[in-house]
Amino acid sequence: MPEQRTAAPAASAGELLSAYRPGDAFFSTATGALHGTGALHTLDRIDDLPATLADAGPGAVAMGAIPFDTSRPAHLVVPRTVRRAPSPTEGPTPENRWRPLGEGWRVTPVPEPEAHVAAVERAVKLMADDAELRKVVLARSLRVEGDEPIDVATVLANLVWRDPTAFVFATDLPERDSGTRTLIGASPELLVAKSGREVLSNPLAGSAPRSADPTKDQRNAVDLLTSAKDRHEHAVVVEAVAESLRPFCRTLSVPAEPELVKTATMWHLSTRVNGELIDHDVPVHTLAAALHPTPAICGTPTGRAFDTITDLEPFDRGFYTGAVGHSDARGDGEWVVTIRCADVAGTTVDLFAGGGVMPESDPEAELAETSAKLRTLLLALGVNGTV
């Protein structure tokens, strides 16, 4: 069995970014980056990771994604070569700069904005009629089409340039008729990270758009932090994350109050849940499976929310609101929630964004939230206009 080869650390994450080609795997965070090329193994079940990584040899790493619907196949790869960088790319450099793409994009909403508002109204009514259904996360999609194949490497570079401390990722997916297919994005939300006995999850729920006006931007942040609706939504998610991790942990720290975190386009309510594992041999993928899907991307209770999403959303989420990340042979690694992302195939990009619908939600405000979230990928593509 050939062993995975891990190259010496690169001088910077920018070098890894410059080396990326479609079909590779790329994952960067505020603390470093990984770039995988080639494939020793391809897996469609996350439970097969431990045995496969053991066979791949010391230092082996698996990278890839799992879908929203856990009954469907994952897409995971043990790269032949993995290069690491110890620090992220920060700000414009020769390797990391804003790169323009073409013009003439054709944008098709799925569904139309009015239909998304109607779906939110329907979800609010369902919760009014059924007190057990506490939250439903509804998403919408944009299909963006160009005349030439999408330059995935450029989109990835633009995402890193704008949000260098986000979880920026690109991983190949099973091909369509149009050929190579890539899941790409800049997620702000850590599903779970594990190092030895230490485990961390950072759920986000409750959002507000950023503004170029500093005064308005600060007001949006304060309004979010004091919003009863958003704090309730956030508390539902944190409660579920803590309950999922508690059986694995000797100690678990859950702050009583959320904090504000920001991306280039959004403010979020954030809570960092830290724990010490009872068994340090529990692999990170087991923790990810226990957590996924969280109420942040599905709702609560999970089964009822999932069925409601299936009834109300007119598209297949695929790997959107799944998880993307990496695991090593020791069981350590990081997995993030697959949001602020796009599915790229040929000349077509499918973008996704959603929001947590609560009994007190305003449908028009929910539409505006998805529009703000879609800006992350639209800006990376160079698409202007309202959505």
Q: What are 33-54's pLDDT values in tens digits?
A: 999 999 999 999 999 999 999 8
Report, as residue numbers or ranges, the catalytic residues: 135, 189
* 94 pLDDT tier (thresholds 50, 70, 90): very low
Residues 171-224 have pLDDT tens digits of: 999 876 657 899 999 999 999 999 999 999 999 999 999 999 999 999 999 999
- Helix 228-245 vs helix 284-291: crossing angle, to nearest 10: 130
Q: What is the residue whose two structure tokens read 């958003």?
A: 230
Residue 29 has pLDDT above 80, yes or no: yes
pTM of the model: 0.92
Distance (Å, whole) CA 154 – CA 172: 15
**What would you measure as the largest C-alpha separation in the chain, in angstroms?**
60
Burial of 18 (0-12, 13-18, 19+ CB in 10 A): middle
* 385 pLDDT tier (thresholds 50, 70, 90): low
Residue 15 has pLDDT above 90, yes or no: no
- Give the per-residue pLDDT at 92: 41
Q: Which residues contact 365 (CB under 8 A, 6 or more apart)?
A: none
Residue 97 has pLDDT above 90, yes or no: no
Within the chain, how many helices (H) and strands (E) appear? 9, 23
Is the pLDDT higher at 90 or at 292?
Answer: 292
Distance (Å, whole) CA 168 – CA 35: 12
- Please report, rounded to a whole number, the percentage of residues in the chain having pLDDT higher than 90: 78
* 236 pLDDT tier (thresholds 50, 70, 90): very high
Distance (Å, whole) CA 37 – CA 22: 10
Q: Which residues contact 256 (CB under 8 A, 6 or more apart)?
A: none
Average pLDDT, the chain: 90
- Give the per-residue pLDDT at 163: 86
- Give the per-residue pLDDT at 58: 82
Sheet holding 190-195, edge to edge: 41-43, 75-78, 61-66, 323-328, 333-337, 190-195, 198-202, 273-277, 249-253
Distance (Å, whole) CA 270 – CA 218: 17
Q: What is the residue whose two structure tokens read 């973008």?
A: 351
What are the beta bridge partners of residue 85? 33
Residue 10 has pLDDT above 70, yes or no: no
Distance (Å, whole) CA 244 – CA 229: 23
Pairing of strands 323-328, 75-78: unpaired
Question: What phi and psi values does residue 4 have, to the nearest 5 degrees?
Answer: -70, 135
- Give the per-residue pLDDT at 88: 55
Q: Which residues contact 49 (CB under 8 A, 6 or more apart)?
A: 43, 62, 76, 283, 285, 327
Give the least confident one: 168-172, 331-335, 377-381.
377-381
What are the beta bridge partners of residue 324? 65, 336
Q: Taking residues 331-350, what's their average pLDDT?
A: 95
Q: Taking residues 284-307, what's their average pLDDT?
A: 95
Q: Taking residues 100-114, what's their average pLDDT?
A: 84
Residue 121 has pLDDT above 50, yes or no: yes
